[in-house]
Structures are given as structure tokens and as C-alpha cells.
Amino acid sequence: MAVGSTRQQKKRKPERYFDYSFLFIILFLLGFGLVMIYSSSSYDAFKDHDGDSAYYLKKQFVATLLGLVLMAVAAIIPYQIWKKFTVLAYIGSIMLLFLVRVPGLGYTANGATRWIRIFGITFQPAEVAKLGIIICLANLISRMGRGIQTVKGFLFIFLLPFPMFLAIWQVTENLSSAIIVYGIGFIMLFVASPQYKVFMGIAATGSVLAVGLVFIITKIASQSDNFRFDRVMAWLNPEAYPKDEGFQVLQSLYAIGSGGILGKGLGRSIQKLGFLPESQNDMIFSIICEELGLFGGISIILMFVLLLWRCMVIANNAPDLFGALLVVGVMGHIAIQVILNIAVVTNTMPNTGISLPFISYGGTSVLFLLIEMGIVMSVSLRIKLKDL
Amino acid sequence: MPIKNKTYIRKKIVITFFLFIAVFLVLIGRLAYLMIGRSEYYMEAAKELHERERSIKAARGRIVDATGAILADNRTVCTISVIHSQITNPQEVTRVLARELGMTEEEVRARVEKYTAIERIKSNVDKATGDRIRSYDLDGVKVDEDYKRYYPYDTLASKVLGFTGGDNQGIIGLEVIYEEYLKGKEGRILTVTDARGMEIEEAGENRIEPLNGNDVHVSLDINIQSYATQLALQAMETKEADSVSILVMNPKNGKILAMVNVPEFNLNQPYTLPEGSITPTTQEEKQNALNQMWRNSCINDTYEPGSTFKIITAAAGLEEKVVSLTDRFSCPGYIMVEDRKIRCHKVGGHGGEDFVQGTMNSCNPVFITVGMRLGVDRYYEYFKRFGLMNKTGVDLPGEAGTIMHKKENIKAVELATISFGQSFQITPVQLATTVSSIINGGTRVTPHFGVKVVNSEGETIKTLEYPMEENIVSEETSEKMRYMLEQVVENGSGINGYVEGYRVGGKTATSQTLPRGSGRYISSFLGFAPADDPQVLAIAIINNPQGVYYGGQIAAPIVRQLFENILPYLERMTYNT
């Protein structure tokens, strides 16, 4: 029924809704990201890639261009088409994750095997999985209708992301992406379910468990020489682990703290000169803060807030539940990743590798993010203006 | 079914959005805390990580003598290093450095090829070589200049001048006392570096220029000091003595013209023990041996002055009018003090004599009698009034204080021995200063070296002044003392101090060191000239001479020879007036 009404709209060529501010925010973040990638990576690039200081910038630029093309395609094709990929999105994503372990295909960088390399192109299947879970859950929930309100339906959606979570965590050794994938699913479930108390209960239980766990870990760590908890210990007191576990976050804090209110000026970061590892990647926000100060840091956060706000508006006006849930999934994905990234660089939570959407260096990430943006645009394009 | 109809979903989406906003607000708060509240802390920490500080040494001020000779100077030395990443022509660098520095090419190549931020090739290279290497203008070769303290006269006045340590700080002597003027202020070059230690050019460098130290001009006269050193060395050798000290000062103002303590040590190698000494086995032993070598006996060590101290007893007696020049005494060769028989050095006794003759004979019973006439209270009072209880305030570190009986412990026997200079200890500089004050008309002077402080532009920034205390004895007493002491040299025990054509006053002393009966003596002679208007006072002290040990026979000739040479010299010099 929903499909039918959209087609009718199209035939009559009504005034189409297009969210220009949404597009503008994405382009701004991409452009800003490229500038910051050049700023933060030129030193490393010059050192490691035969004096080519634009090495990372060029690679990211190509991925961004390709991503923009894919975004346009995704925006033009009706989003309903993704319904057909529900099973493939789920099964395919998990299979791709396992391909990492296939000799000849798996690609290792920075000590972790998270990439697949085919015909010289490397990509990270965990990024595919994020899109996969959004498509899969959106379709399943919208098909369920009132089924989500039953215990069985609720548990089904609640547990469905788990296999994917485990695969990303265990097979590709990427806990942070696993958490993001599960977080996306959780947010979609939260929106789809009329329940409140259950979620408050889950949130409360989760908080208590987290606090309890940290408490127990500090106890154990202080009584034994167990190195497994060093990451948590380094989070609580990075200055006690300045050489190993606390090194990166300490360097990040130096960068952020030394930025002050107005920053050192674009391009003037010193921490990027070999002091802060992954400065063009997971730690790019620290360099933004060092160069552009608190002012620049808050501005970027505000851009993401605006992006989320547009997502909210589009989701709330989506022609159908499937479209709304797709947008909610994307919104959750971006929100979770931005929050976790900033939380890590400011040492608000233990260190784990999470990139900043649109800005951090990483081809697969920007490619799939832009496909997600295309899907959101596709939803927005099918909003009937008279419904607004 | 449009989403609109599912109102709870719209509500949930809005709630989700605001939950995100709430979390973002928390993160913004955290960010603001880090970037405002903790900004200074992290900025400091980051600075420490990024900035490389190189100090620029300040040239230490020189020490200049009365004639303008430079006693302590700086030599510019160079440190040659290479910065691996900046070298463009390693063969050329290796070849030039090996040739200029007199090293083998292999040695240099190993360092040139070593991958380090900065590699030192050679330090303490003289400036000419450093300049030559600089003139090649080789990429990656750094020539850094540095100052090294240098003493042009090696051993001359070593224990007075002192030397400096690794941080160019004074260790002993004038180098310590005038540290604040000499030191100057180190400059700094702050450069920002990346994680590999490479300097970041666009960050610029923050340079704080060094402030050179000021020159200190001293009253020491290199000619008098050199000659006195020769005399002291000669005496030490011929008398096989442990050490010989000579102190020459102006009794009118306390300016010290020479202070010799042989054996001296080489200031350019202050940590090298004298040849022939036992090689110390422990670090502590070595330090003790060094401290011994660095000791300035004129001020760091006390001794029993013996007969030269009779000057003080005489001055106190005359001032208090318990004795006059014409008083008659009789010396049977001893004197009874309570139940103790104290001998005169002349066993047969001097017989009948007046006070002047008693002084010329250095007759113990005469001075014991004068001491007894004064009594403990008055004697002690004069001891204090003459400044003997305090340090002289000489501008050298580590001056030893007087070792004296407590007043309540001084009984007749102690008083008797003090009267002729025994049973207590003072430093040579204390004796010279006290006698100066007695013969100069009664003004207690402060012995000193420092005259003025001159900055590197040659402007005097400070004239050093020293306390003086007038009327510690009357001019009348002072005149009588000069007369008597001239008689000692003209016709008495100090005849060997007589200098043809000059009026010289003086007093001899021979004292046995403790414990008594060890056969170790200290012979000394204190002389001054001209006797009627003293311009210079000298004291020579021979520690543990072998053979003849009488001060009048071995110490007086030293002062005579010194005076024969320096008196005509001083008449020509205008600075001493």
C-alpha cells in the first residue's frame, strides 16, 4: 500500500521534497574532513610515502568522489528496493566478515586483520555490516507490524544482531565496530517498540553492570599483575601508563588541552608531528581541537547535531515505517560513532578504535556512510510535500 | 501506512534525538573542561614534550689583578657534532672532519653514518679549528661554541683564586665568594621539535641571550705574588718544610697584595693530585686528599702564633699604661707563675733590661709580667677589642675562627702563656690584620682582595667597601709599637729582616706545634715597612722546617728578600697609595 501511493505521487510529478541542508551538512563535513586529513597526515605521508605529503588526502579524495557517486545512485533509486536485500544484507555481511580469515583475501594492518583485499582494493567488512544491520532490521520490524509489541517479536529483534556482533568482535577482532552494530540495532528497536520501562530497565542494568565491572577490574588489577585490565586502568589514570596503554590517549589529551579556546591555528598542530599515533584516523578530533580549539571542536559537534536533526525530521516524515527505520538506523549509526569517538579522544571512556564519520581517514567508512546518506536522501525525496 | 499514524514512533525518534543531544552536551562539557580548565596543564606538558632547550653559556667574568693582569679568564672551545638527517655529502664531511680534528676517517665515518638526532664528534676543540670547520659550510655539521674557565698562570695564587666546576660555578676561593658577580646568566635557545627530534623551522626559535658575567678586580699584585711564591718555594725546598705561607698586605686599608701557600696546585687541573702522592684507593680518600691540596693555610688553618703575638700583649699593656717603654725588668731565665716555673727561651736569662730591650730580646718573663699586670679581665677585654675573637671577614670562603680559652677558664698560668702567644690558636690572616691595626694608628681593617666589579663594557658597577673600626688603640700606643718593632729589626732578634736603606719593623716567632716535644716547629716572621709610616706588612710562616728552625734565622730572611724587591717596586706603583 505504501509502495503504491508513492508511485502515484511520482506519476503526477509533484513538488518533490529535497533536504538541501542535509546535503550541505554532508558536503561541509566531507570537505572539512579532507582539509583535516591533509593537515593531520601530511607529516606522516611525507615521511612514509617518499615525500608525497598528499598521499592520504589523494586516497581519501578518490574514495569520497566514489562515495558521492554511490550516494547519488542510492538517492535516486527508490529505497524500497533495499527490502529485497534483507536476507542478503544479514547473511552476506556475516559471510564477508568470515572472508577476512580466508588466506589471500584477509589483509592485516596495524596488527589487526580487519580488511579484505580483492583486486588491489581493500575494504572493511565491518562497515558493510553496519549498513547490513540497518537494512535487515528496518525491513523485519516494518513487516512485523504489531508483532514488535509481543515478547517474542521484541526478543527476536533484540537478539538478531548478536551473531553479527560476535562475528565482528571475534572474527575481525574489532570490538568497537561490534558495539556500534549492536547499538544501531538497539536504537532501532527502541524506536520501533512502544515500550519505555523495559528500555529504562536495560539502561539501568547496563549502567550498574558497567560501573560494577570497572570497580571489580580496579580491585583485581591493584592486587595482581594482570595485564588484561591495563586498558581500563590506563583509562582511569593515563598518566600512570604513559609508555604503553595510556600513550595514545595521553598524547590525545596533550593535543586537545594545548588547543585552548581558539586553538593553535589550522595546520599548526605539533602533536600530529609523530607524537599522536593515528592522528589522521581515530584521533583526528584531537588534532581538530589542537588546531581550531574548543571553538572548532564544538562547531564540528554542532554540525553533527544538525545532521542528526535533519535525520530526525526526515524520519518523522518518512512515507512509511521502513523508510523511517532506515533513517533512524543511519541516525543511530552516526550518533553512536561520533559520541564514542569523542568520548575516546577525551578519555571519557576506555580507548577503542572508532573513527569519526566523514572526517577520519578511511575509504570503506566514507563509502558506506555516503551510501547510507543516499538512502536517507532517497527517503526524503519520497516525502509528499502536502503531508508536511 | 504512513509513519505519521504511528505517533509513538515519532515520539521515540524525537526522544532518541534529544538523548543524543544530552550526551553531546556532556561531551561538550568534558571538552570545555579539558580545553579551558586543564588547558594550562596540558599546554605545559605538551611544551615539555615538544621544546628542546639548548643553553647558551654566559662568559664568566674575569678576575683581574692590581696591575691589570688577567688571573682567571675564559677560553672559547668548540664542540663539533653532526646531524645525520641534514648531511648531504657524507664523504666530504668525513674527510674534512677527520683531517681537521686529527681523527681517523673510520672513527669519523662511524659517527657520521650513525642514525641519531645529533651525534657529537669531538668536544673541547680550540676555536681556530672550530672556525676553520665552520668555514667549509658543510651541511649537517654543527659547531657550537662554549666557554671554559682558564687560568693563564696555572698555579699562581691557586688557593686564593679557586676554580670552577662543570657548570662553571665557583668551587673554592674568590671564584666562590664573587660567584654572584662573575657568574652571568645563561641564555637559552628553545626550539620546537617533532617526535623524531627534528627542529620545526616555521615554529621559529625562542632565543634568550646570555648575560656575561662581570669582571672582579682584586688587589692581588701578580709581581709580588710571583716573587713571594718563588721565595716560599725556595724556603720550602731548602728547609725541607711541609709548607710555607706568605701573606703581604697593606696595613692601612687591608688590601692583600699577595697570599702564597706553597705547595700550590694547578688551577687548570684542580683534580690532579701532586706527583709522588699516594694514589687514593677510595673516592672518599681522594676527596680528602684534594681538600687538603686546596686548603689555604693563611685563612683555613689556625696555629699558635708564638712570639709575634707579644705585639698584642705589648700594645694592650702600653694602651692600658701598665707598662712604659722605660720600665725596668729582670730576667733570670724563668718566671714563677703561681707554683709553675715558666722558662725564657734564653736559659741563662736576659738579666736587667727595659721594656724596649725586653721586646728586642723577645723575653718571655717580660711579657708574662705585662700580662699579669693587665690581669685576666683587662687582657680578655683587649683580646676582644682588637678583634681577635671575631673572624677578620676576609673575602675568601672557609675562614677559621680563633680557638681561645673561655674567660672563666683563664687562670694565671693560662694568662701567662697567652701573653707570649701560646695555648690558643689564630689564623695567619688574623695575626696580620691585628698587627696592621696596631701599627697603622689604631684602625681595625678588613683584609680583602676584591676592589671593584666591572661589567663587560668596562664600566665600574660596584666599588667594594669593607668595614673599618677606628681607635682600637691610640695613635700614641701605635707610634710606640712602631718604634719598638723597628728596634727589634734594627738591633734585636729580627735583625735578619733588616733591609738596607729602608726602615723596617717586625717580630719573629718560633712555636712548637702540638703535641709538645714532637720536634715540629712553626717559624714565622712578621715585618712591615716603612717603620714610621707602614705601607706594607708581610708575614712568612714556615711549617715544620728541618734543621735550624728559629723564626729570626729562617723566616726573617724571606721577608727581607721580599722587601728588598717589593719596596722599590711599591714606591713606583701608584695604585697602592
Q: B420 φ, ψ to 5°?
A: -110, 25
Task: Tell which residue, B163, B161, B84, B166, has the closest CA to residue B123.
Answer: B166
User: Across the interface, which of B4, B41, B203 has its CB nearest the CB of A387?
Assistant: B4
Query: Which range has highest mean pLDDT (A184-188, A266-270, A351-355, B185-189)?
Result: A184-188
Nearest to B324 by CA among B368, B362, B356: B356
Host domain of residue B317? 224-264+296-572
Number of separate domains in chain B: 3
Partner-chain residue, chosen from A254, A294, A305, that has the shortest CB–CB distance to B24: A305
Answer yes or no: do B27 and A346 touch at CB < 8 A: yes
Contacts of residue A202 in chain B, CB cutoff 8 Å? none
Distance from the Cα of residue B364 to its chain's centroid = 37
Q: Which residues of B touch A206 (CB under 8 A)?
A: none
Structure-model confidence comparison of residues B185 and A26, the more confident one: A26
Instruction: Report the C-alpha gap between B224 and B260 in whole angstroms.
Output: 10
Same domain, B402 and B535: yes
Q: Which residue has the higher pLDDT, A17 or A31?
A: A31
**Tens of pLDDT, residues B246-289:** 999 999 999 999 999 989 999 988 888 887 777 888 888 888 88
Q: Is B16 in the same domain as B89?
A: no
B25 touches chain A (CB under 8 A): no
A317 reaches B (C-beta below 8 A): yes
d(Cα B182, Cα B164) in Å, to the nearest integer? 11
Between B1 and A316, the more confident residue is A316
Alpha-carbon gap, residue A10 to A8, rounded angstroms: 5
* Phi, psi (degrees; rounded to nearest 5) at A107: -135, 130
On whether the CB atoms of residues B286 and B273 are closer than 8 A, the answer is yes
Residue pairs spanning A and B at CB distance below 8 A: 139
Pick among B4, B31, B36, B40 to test the A interface (most A CBs inside 10 A): B31
Kindly give, in sequence order, each residue whose CB lies less than 8 Å from that of residue B19, ignoring residues fewer than 6 positions away. Answer: none
pLDDT for B251: 94
Same domain, B7 and B120: no
pLDDT, residue B54, reads 65
Q: Tell me if chain B has a CB within 8 Å of the CB of A297.
A: yes
Does B522 lie in the same domain as B418? yes
B132 at A interface, C-beta within 8 A: no
Same-domain pairing of B214 and B301: no
Q: Is the pLDDT of residue A7 over 60?
A: no
At A77-105, the pLDDT tens digits run 999 999 998 999 999 999 999 988 888 78
pLDDT band, very low/low/confident/very high, at A386 (cuts 50, 70, 90): low
Residue B291 counted as domain residue: no
Question: Percent of chain A at pLDDT above 70?
Answer: 94
Tell me, yes or no, whether B236 lies in a domain. Answer: yes
B280: in domain: no
Spatial separation of the C-alpha atoms in residues A330 and A318, rounded to whole Å: 14
pLDDT of residue A26: 96
Residue of A nearest to B196 (CA): A274
> Which of A129, A207, A191, A120 lies closest to A161, judged by CA?
A129
Indicate the residue type of A187: I
B511 and B456 share a domain? yes
For chain A, the structural domain boundaries read: 16-387
Query: What pLDDT, on the 0 to 100 scale, is given for residue B252?
Result: 93
Cα Rg, chain A, nearest whole Å: 22
Q: Which of B16, B46, B203 sits opposite A254 (nearest CB)?
A: B46
The verdict on B212 and B134 lying in the same domain is: yes
Residues B205 and B305 occupy one common structural domain: no
Q: Are strands B215-218 and B63-64 parallel, antiparallel or unpaired?
A: parallel
In the prediction, which pLDDT does A4 show? 45
| Nearest chain A CA: its distance from B171 CA (Å) | 40
Nearest CA in chain B to A254: B42
User: Which residues in chain A are contacts of B32 at CB distance < 8 A?
Assistant: 294
Provide the pLDDT for residue A267. Answer: 87
Please list every residue in chain B whose beta carbon sits closer than 8 Å to the beta carbon of residue A320: 1-3
What does the block give as the cell for B284?
Answer: 672518599
Amino acid at B60: R
Is B24–A1 a contact, with Cβ atoms under 8 angstroms apart?
no
Is-contact B265 B155, C-beta < 8 A?
Answer: yes
Q: Indicate the range of A334-338, A382-386, B33-37, B192-196 predicted with least confidence.
A: B192-196
Residue B271 lies in a domain: no
B4 touches chain A (CB under 8 A): yes
Question: Is residue A207 classed exposed, middle or buried when 0-12, 13-18 and 19+ CB atoms within 10 A define those classes?
Answer: exposed
Element (H, E) at B329: strand B328-331
**Pairwise CB contact (< 8 Å): A254 & B4:** no
Q: Do A328 and B16 touch (CB under 8 A)?
A: yes
Annotated catalytic residue within B81, B158, B219, B307? B307
Q: Is residue B283 part of a domain?
A: no
Q: Within this chain, do residues B392 and B523 fall inside the same structural domain, yes or no?
A: yes
Answer yes or no: do B3 and A261 touch at CB < 8 A: no
d(CA A102, CA A341): 30
Say whether both B234 and B212 belong to one domain. no
Which residue from A70, A61, A33 is spatially nearest to A358, judged by alpha carbons?
A: A33
Contact A273 B200 (CB under 8 A): yes
Q: Is the pLDDT assigned to residue A6 strictly greater than 60?
A: no
- Residue B273 in any domain: the answer is no
> Phi then psi for B362, rounded to 5 degrees?
55, 50
Yes or no, beta carbons of A254 and B24 under 8 Å apart: no
Determine how many CB atoms are found less than 10 A away from the CB of residue B102: 10
Spatial contact of A353 and A282, defined as CB atoms under 8 Å apart? yes
| Residue A270 pLDDT > 70 | yes
- Claim to verify: residue B109 and residue B228 sit in the same structural domain: no
Contact B79, B123 (CB under 8 A): yes
B307 part of the active site:
yes
Contact between B2 and A2 using a beta-carbon 8 Å cutoff: yes
Query: Tell me, what CATH number does B326's domain have?
Result: 3.40.710.10
**What CATH number is attached to the domain comprising B214?**
3.90.1310.10
**pLDDT value, residue A51:** 83
Q: Are residues B354 and B478 in the same domain?
A: yes
Question: Which band of pLDDT confidence, cut at 50, 70 and 90, is reported for residue A9?
Answer: very low
Q: Look at residue B281 and tell me if it is in a domain.
A: no
User: For chain B, which residues score pLDDT lower than 70?
Assistant: 1-6, 52-54, 85, 115-118, 196-199, 201-205, 573-577
pTM of the complete model beyond 0.80: no
Are B42 and A257 in contact (CB < 8 Å)?
yes
Kindly determine whether residue B27 and residue A343, on different chains, have CB atoms separated by under 8 Å.
yes
Cα distance from A194 to chain B (closest Cα, Å)?
6
Predicted pLDDT of residue A224? 66
CA distance B5 to chain A (A): 10
pLDDT digit string, tens, across residues A103-132: 878 888 767 778 888 877 788 889 999 999
Taking an 8 Å cut-off on Cβ atoms, the answer to whether A260 and B43 are in contact is yes
Q: Which chain B residue shows the shortest CA-CA distance from A387?
A: B4
For residue A2, what pLDDT is reported? 43
Asked if residue B47 is part of any domain, the answer here is: no
Residue B503, CA distances (Å) to B485, B492, B495, B576 in order: 10, 14, 12, 18
Q: What is the SS3 assignment for B35-99?
A: HHHCHHHHHHHHHHHHEEEEEECCCCCCEECCCCCEEEEEEEEEEEEECHHHCCCHHHHHHHHHH
Note whether B295 and B159 are within 8 A (CB): yes
- Give the pLDDT band (50/70/90) at residue A300: very high
Does residue A379 have a pLDDT over 50? yes
Quote the minimal CA–CA distance from B204 to chain A in Å: 12
